Structure formats: C-alpha cells, structure tokens
Amino acid sequence: MIKPFAITLKPGTSLSNLTGTWRTERPVYLDRLPPCNNACPAGENIQGWLYHAESGDYEQAWRMLVEENPFPAVMGRVCYHPCEDQCNRGKLDSPVGINSVERFLGDEAIRRGWKFSEPPDSSGKKVLIVGAGPSGLSAAYHLARMGHGVEIQEAGPMAGGMMRFGIPKYRLPRDVLDAEVKRILDLGVRLRLNSRVENISASMQGFDAAFLAVGAHIAKRAFIPAGDAAHVVDAVSLLHSMEGEERPMLGRRVVVYGGGNTAIDVARTARRLGATDAIIVYRRTREKMPAHDFEVEEALQEGVMIKWLSAIRQADEGQLTVEKMVLDDKGMPQPTGEFEKMEADTLVLALGQDVDLTLLEGVPNLEIRNGTVQVSGNMMTGFPGLFAGGDMVMSERSVTVAAGHGKKAARHIDAYLRGAAYEPHSKHELADFGKLNTWYYSDADKTVRPMLDIIRRQTSFDEVQGGLNESNALFEARRCMSCGNCFECDNCYGVCPDNAVIKLGPGKRFKFNYDYCKGCGLCAAECPCGAIKMVPEEI
C-alpha cells in the first residue's frame, strides 16, 4: 500500500528517546545522619524509632530503640536530652519531644510486658562486670544479646547505681527502674549483690574479659572549719540514705552548698522531708551554674531558694558564716571580705564526686589522670581485656553517657573475645537544617507534659513530671521531620516532570530511572528531608 506523504512512519512511543543522555548531574538517594541521632550519647536511632511510632507501631519503635539502649522508661525521665537541643525542628518552632515519646514507649513496654528477643546460642565466653549502675547494666545487656555469659558483681544491696541511690524517686519512680533492670536480668545475666570487688586482678580470674563501671561515689570535700556541734553531711550519702528505712533528719532550715544537679536534687528532697527553708548557696551566678535550667526552674517553683555569689566559710551549730563573692573577668568567683551569718540546722555539701580506684591497685599499665581511669577509643584500659566506662572514666557524667559507654564497651569486648577489632560504621554526612525543605511540614507546636500540682510536689515523693498519652505521643512523634532519611512522602515520585522516579512500594522506597532522568534536580529540591543529593555526572 502506498502511504500518503508524511505518515510513512509507524507511530511510536517517546520511550525510545532516552533523555537521560541530557543529564549533567544525577540525583542519588542517601541516608543522612539526623542531628538528634548524632547528639544521643547512647547512639539511639531516634529518627528510626520515631518513624515506627509515627504509624502507631509502638512495639516496633520500642524494639528499634532498645537495639541501642535498654532503658527507655528511665531515659524518658532522667536523660538531659541533648538530642532535643540539636533537633532541627527547634529551628522551625520547637524541638520534637523526643524524650517524652521515649518515655511513652518505655512505659508502654512495661505496661504490655514486652520482652527482649531471646539471645543467640552461648559463645562460651564469660565476662565480669563490676558495678550494676547504668553503665554496667547496659554492657551486660549488650553482651548477653551477643551470646556471652555475663556476671555482674555489685557492692550494694540492689542494682541501679546512682539511678537508685542518687536520683530521687520524684524524678524516677523505683518500680520503673525495677522493671527495666529485671528485663535485663531475664536475659540470663547473673547479678551478685553485696559483692564488692576489692581487687580486680584477683576477681578477673576465670573470666575472659572484664568491664569496670564503679561510678564516682566519694564525695568531694571543701575545707570548711566546723564546730563540733555543726551538722554537716555530704549529698551522696544523704541521697543514698533516702533508699533506707529511716528518713534522714535534716531540721527545718537546710543549706546545700554547690551548683550542680545534685545540689538541686538535695534541696528538693529537703523540701519534701519537711524543711521550711531549703537554700542553695553557690559561689557563682545562675548563668554559670552547671545545673540544667529546667531543674533550677522546677526547684524554684517548689520554693527552693538560691543564694548566688556566696561561699561558705565556717559552720557552727545552727549557723553558717558566708562570704560574698564577685566574678572576675574569667568568670571565676573571688572573695570580697564581706561576711554574713546564715541560720542552718544542716549543711549539705554537694561539691561533686571522686572515683574510688582502690580496686585497681596492682594492675599494670593503667593510666590514671585527674582521678579517672584512661581508656582508649575502644573503652579498653592499658591492661588487655580490662575495659571501663561510665562515671569512672573521663567524660560527661550522665545516665545516658554511662549507658552509651556500656554499649560501646560491649561491642569492643565482643570483638576482643573473637580476637578481632570492632569496626564502627562510618558516619553518614549530617542532615543539618539547610538540607531540609521545611515547607512541607505541618505547623505543630510541641506537646507539653503534665506536671504534678505544686502542693504535692512540696510534700510527697510522687513523680513530678507526667507522661504523654497515646494520642499526644502519636502527635509528638509525627512532628518529627525525618531529617536525612526518606519517609516515603512520594514527593520525588510526584514532582519529576519526566516520570523518572520508580516507586518500589510501601517500605521499599524509590529508585531513579536514569534512562530518562534529565537531572533537573526538582526531586532533590522538593524532598522535604534531604534524602536526595545531586552529584555531577562523569562526562
């Protein structure tokens, strides 16, 4: 058949035109490191577990969380949440309430009786852990989950360390702590209470490795001349005695000397024990105070008073002598020679703690600096097979840091036991705020946690801060912007003018079709969370 002019060709599809050849840059999917994850001292995959919480799958969220940290209910109460300080959402309205969702998950796990998955078959190796504080317990948990035999030797009558004998009940109810400790022990971890290790070299015999986490329990002293009848106690012993049968007698006017979180906890405890006046005396100013702002705020609400720029010079029966201080250019307090008297039934010294290192005597090649044990990047001391972490090594002192050390040590101990070296994943590049396209996130302010009424805060040890309920925990989780990690919003799939994005189905993310992608960069520009990057083509 003779075809008419200009229609001699068979119709075809434009798919034969591979427009991918136009491209000078190609989009690639990547995972960037969310700033929250980067800031978590326990290395939690916060964005990851929030992703599951967002869809209401709390168990999956909890399981992902405990991959890194076995204490969500504790963390959700006492962690200072540096993650929230770094949260990108803080630059938009206010940070995601990571800590409150964490607590919700932890409480939910306790309420529903979720258990850790069964550990694998035994490796036949045995590890000794000294101290059942957060660091020791965390190490025990991770080692048990790797199949190693774990024995914890603990000097005290109960597990928990400073979580039990430091942090007051009104911040961390003991049934919550007990539940999370028990879940770890249920993995088959052996806990020997009332078993102080006097000499690690001797105690280590029969173990393949040891992890030391004895904390810092020796109260620091300042030289304050005190009359015989003066009532002076140290903060750690005082808080420790709160766990006993008898409540300590402090009197009506209690003065606490120091400016850290411990000083705050003591003053708030004194209020609850019936002190009409609980006064913190601190040598510097509020800005210089190491205690966290929110704790200072809560203490002030409860009627705790703070005397700034003051040093205690002398303690006598019922009375203290205090000198006024001024700050020099370096922000250090200097005496003024001006004195005044203060009434006080009890003076509590909250000046920090030192590490008791006596159990290390005779161990070769150890390095002690500033009263702490030096460890290298793998948490091992100079003595092979002896690892250490938590408050007894040089670092910030918090429950979260301690738990993080426990995890890190466990990974290196596991490698050590196999005669290998543990290679951590290389960190992804940071998903900072500039990588986001925040247009796409709904406007939503942070959910505020309920607080106990003020009268009960001054008279009882009931927990001060409440938790979120299901609906507001879900709301809070959904405020997360999933920084740097695809959350399957379909934007890239939608905005490509060239249909060059292939949707792989729920949970499977996406793929580029480089046969047709022209490299316009729209997908990368409109990805809300910065999970696409344009890279130059090699031409």
Partner 1 sequence: MGFQPIKFYQTGTYTVGNRLLSPDQRSVQAAESRSNSINSGHRACQGCGEALGARYAIDAAMAESHNRLIAVNATGCLEVFSTPYPESSWQVPWIHSVFGNAPAVATGIAAAMKVKGKTDVRVVAQGGDGGTTDIGFGCLSGMFERNDDVLYICYDNQAYMNTGVQRSSATPPAARTATTMPVGPEPGNPFGQGKNLPEIAMAHGIPYVATATVADLRDLEYKVRRAMRMRGARYIHLFVPCPLGWGTASHDTIRIARLAKESGLFPVFEAEHGEVRSVLKIRRKVRVEEYLMPQKRFAHLFGSHPHPEMVIRIQEIADRNIRKYGLLDEEEAA
Ligand X SMILES: Cc1cc2nc3c(=O)[nH]c(=O)nc-3n(C[C@H](O)[C@H](O)[C@H](O)COP(=O)(O)OP(=O)(O)OC[C@H]3O[C@@H](n4cnc5c(N)ncnc54)[C@H](O)[C@@H]3O)c2cc1C
Q: Are strands 532-536 and 346-349 parallel, antiparallel or unpaired?
A: unpaired
Residue 516 found at the interface with partner 1 (CB under 8 A): yes
Contacting range for ligand SF4; rule: CB under 6 A; set: 54-62, 368-376, 443-451, 495-503: 495-503
- If contact means CB under 5 to 8 A according to the sort of partner, which of ligand X, ligand SF4, partner 1, none does residue 87 touch? ligand SF4
Q: How far apart are CA 418 and CA 406, in angstroms?
A: 18
Q: What is the largest CA-CA distance in the chain?
A: 123
Contacting range for ligand X; rule: CB under 6 A; set: 13-21, 73-81, 109-117, 472-480: 73-81
Nearer to ligand SF4 by C-beta: 269 or 472?
Answer: 472
Residue 496 found at the interface with ligand SF4 (CB under 6 A): yes
Nearest-approach distance from CB 191 to ligand X, in angstroms? 11
- Per-position x/- string for 101-140, each x denoting binding to ligand X as judged by CB under 6 A, each - no binding: -----------------------------xxxxxxx----
Q: Residues in contact with ligand X, total (CB under 6 A)?
A: 36
Q: Which of 59, 115, 106, 117 is nearest to 79 (CA)?
A: 106
Separation in Å, CA 519 to CA 430, 493, 526, 533: 23, 14, 14, 11
Q: How far apart are CA 304 and CA 280, in angstroms?
A: 8
- Is residue 161 within 8 A of residue 134, CB to CB? The reply is yes
Residue 528 found at the interface with partner 1 (CB under 8 A): yes
Q: Which of 185, 232, 171, 197 is nearest to 392 (CA)?
A: 197
Q: Which of 21, 334, 376, 513 binds partner 1 (CB under 8 A)?
A: 513
Residue 239 found at the interface with ligand X (CB under 6 A): yes
CA 490 to chain centre: 33
- Is residue 237 within 8 A of residue 319, CB to CB? The reply is no
- Per-position x/- string for 472-501, each x denoting binding to partner 1 as judged by CB under 8 A, each - no binding: ---x--xxxxx----xxxxx-xxxxxxxx-
**Which of the residues 253 through 292 are near ligand X (CB under 6 A)?**
261-262, 265
Residue type, 130: V
- If contact means CB under 5 to 8 A according to the sort of partner, which of partner 1, ligand SF4, ligand X, none does residue 531 touch? ligand SF4
Nearer to partner 1 by C-beta: 96 or 143?
Answer: 96
**Which of the residues 62 through 91 are near ligand SF4 (CB under 6 A)?**
87-89
Nearest-approach distance from CB 474 to ligand X, in angstroms? 26
- If contact means CB under 5 to 8 A according to the sort of partner, which of ligand SF4, partner 1, ligand X, none does residue 162 touch? ligand X
Report the sign of the C-alpha dihedral through residues 47, 51, 54, 60, in that order.
Answer: negative
Separation in Å, CA 369 to CA 211, 257, 374, 385, 394: 19, 26, 7, 20, 8
- If contact means CB under 5 to 8 A according to the sort of partner, which of ligand X, partner 1, ligand SF4, none does residue 17 touch? partner 1
Strand order in the sheet with 319-327: 310-316, 319-327, 333-343
Q: Which of 263, 262, 302, 300 is nearest to 282 (CA)?
A: 263
Q: Which of 274, 382, 385, 521 binds partner 1 (CB under 8 A)?
A: 521
Contacting range for ligand SF4; rule: CB under 6 A; set: 197-205, 231-239, 295-303, 497-505: 497-505
CA 538 to chain centre: 43
- If contact means CB under 5 to 8 A according to the sort of partner, which of ligand SF4, ligand X, partner 1, none does residue 135 touch? ligand X
Nearer to ligand SF4 by C-beta: 89 or 405?
Answer: 89
Q: Which of 439, 455, 538, 539 binds partner 1 (CB under 8 A)?
A: 439
Residue type, 473: A
Q: Which of 162, 154, 153, 160 is nearest to 176 (CA)?
A: 160
The strand pairing partners of 448, in sequence order, are none
Q: Which of 184, 209, 320, 532 binds ligand SF4 (CB under 6 A)?
A: 532
Burial readout 119-145 (b: 16 or more C-beta within 10 A, e: otherwise): beeebebbbbbbbbbbbbbbbbbbbbb
Nearer to ligand SF4 by C-beta: 129 or 529?
Answer: 529
Q: Interface with ligand SF4 by CB under 6 A: which residues?
A: 27, 29, 34-36, 46-47, 50, 87-89, 96, 98, 480-483, 486-492, 496, 498, 500-501, 510, 512, 517-523, 527-529, 531-532
